[in-house]
Structure 1
Amino acid sequence: MSLISVDQTITIAMSVADRHASAKWYESMLGFELLYHADDAGWSEVQTNTPGVVIGFGEHTKPAPGNCVPVFGIGDLDTARHKLEQAEVKFDGDTDVIEGMVKTATFYDPDGNALMLAQDLTGGNG
């Protein structure tokens, strides 16, 4: 039995210099579909050809090459975070909230690989 139960969505978060250009590249090269650009949040998403799996682009002036973080959807991030912290899982700072959009928390596996939980606050999925 697992400590928490993630839902059936995975977002692969990537750091990029220009998310609009990245979204176009993934559309034209791999046939992915643009879902949206959230300009106020500096975030864009494309739907992959795999149901439930999207790629999110976070815009940074100096993106880290090879930076890729799997983001697992979760229905109740606060409860999940509490359970993981009780099991001594290390988190990277506080939970981030973009009101009406998403709540996220980054944590690490035993090898230091970054993973993230995300709770949908739009009233759509999750």
Structure 2
Amino acid sequence: MPVVTLDETITIAISVRDRHASAKWYGEMLGFEPLYHADDVGWSELTTFSKGVTLGLGEQAEPAPGNSVPVFGVADIQTARRNLEAAGVAFDGETIEIDGMVRTATFYDPDGNALMLAEDLTKAA
């Protein structure tokens, strides 16, 4: 049995210089549609053609080329994090909460690849 129970969502998060320009490019090139732009936190999400999979665009002044972080949805991030930490998984800092939107926590696989957990707070409202 796995240490953490994931829900049926995954967001592939990438760093970009201009989220709005990137969202337009992904729309024109791949047919993805914006779900929303959260300008106050520098984040946008787009649809994909895979059920439960979205593309997240995180705005950064100097994004790292090839940067991609899978973000796995969970119902309870505190329990998921506690279980992973008990299994020896390393996390990068504290769990971050964007009020009314999401809680996230970045962790690493044995090779140092960044992964993230996300608890959707909009479903609780």
Written as runs of structure 1 = structure 2, the 5 A alignment for 1:1-126 is 1-123=1-123
Q: Name structure 1 gaps, 5 residues minimum.
A: none
Secondary structure of the corresponding residue to residue 41 of structure 2: coil
Percent identity of paired positions between Structure 1 and Structure 2:
67
TM-score (norm 2): 0.97
- Give the distance between the partners of 1:23 and 1:39, measured in 2 at CA: 13
Superposed displacement of residue 123, structure 1: 2.1
Aligned residues: 125
Superposed displacement of residue 82, structure 1: 0.4
Secondary structure of the corresponding residue to residue 58 of structure 1: strand
Q: Name structure 2 gaps, 5 residues minimum.
A: none
- Give the distance between the partners of 1:6 and 1:83, measured in 2 at CA: 12
Superposed displacement of residue 33, structure 1: 1.0
Secondary structure of the corresponding residue to residue 66 of structure 2: coil
TM-score (norm 1): 0.97
How far does the alpha carbon of each residue in 1:36-60 deviate from its partner, in whole angstroms, 9 at most, with x for none?
1000111001000111100000000
- Give the distance between the partners of 2:73 and 2:4, measured in 1 at CA: 11
